[in-house]
Amino acid sequence: MAKNFDAVVIGAGPGGYVCAIRLAQLGKKTAIIEKENVGGVCLNVGCIPSKAIIHASKSYYNVSHELPEMGITAGTPKFDPNKMQEWKNTVVKQLTGGVATVLKANGVETIKGTAVFKDAKTIEVTTAAGKETITATNFVIATGSRVVQITNITLKRKKNID
């Protein structure tokens, strides 16, 4: 038996989750489909984790270099990369958890899986539990972007850089 919605958003990054929340606020029965984690690349592995590490690094620099020039000393600062990663992971978890909470509070059904269109009003979502059919009047595709390989330039990529 197919689930039916007024609107389904495919992709739960910053564009998708904001869209789904607004649709629900406008009274639409809404679902959001995400294959990985709510928050997309930005909240999970891109913008937010990077900014957290930059903030921590600047704080270390300030304690080491700038504050002593102002007459403020706090002993010899120590750098613990594992602790910094733990802190960054906590920041990410708080933000993605907050997004999940706001989606739920607005009545958006979150489905973890990969969507494939069967026709203009039907998708099949592959989840950990199997496949389910979802119909909707409207779909929003908010799947974000991926790195593009530029000709003659080799990119070195590391996965799972926690």
pLDDT tens for each residue of 119-150: 999 999 999 999 999 999 999 999 987 767 67
Phi/psi region, residue 39 (left: phi>0; alpha: psi -120 to 50; beta: rest), is left
Strand order in the sheet with 30-34: 109-112, 30-34, 3-10, 130-141, 122-127, 114-119
Taking residues 88-94, what's their average pLDDT? 96
Torsional sign, CA 118, 115, 110, 46? negative
**Looking at the predicted structure, is the pLDDT value of residue 158 above 70?**
no
Please check whether residue 21 is in contact with residue 108, taking contact to mean a CB–CB distance below 8 angstroms: yes
The torsion defined by the Cα of 127, 10, 108 and 38, in degrees rounded to 10, comes to 70
pTM above 0.75, yes or no: yes
Residue 157 has pLDDT above 70, yes or no: no
CA distance 158 to 135: 38
Spatial contact of 65 and 142, defined as CB atoms under 8 Å apart: no
Question: Which one, of 143, 136, 155, lies nearest residue 23 by Cα?
Answer: 136
The percentage of the chain sitting over the pLDDT mark of 70, rounded to a whole number, equals 93
In our burial notation (b when 16+ CB lie closer than 10 A, e otherwise), range 80-107 reads eeeebbeebeebbeebbeebbebbeeee
77: pLDDT confidence band, cut at 50, 70 and 90? confident
Average pLDDT of span 51-63: 93
Q: What's the mean per-residue pLDDT of the chain?
A: 92
Cα gap 17→142, rounded to integer Å: 9
Q: For residue 78, what are the β-bridge partners?
A: none
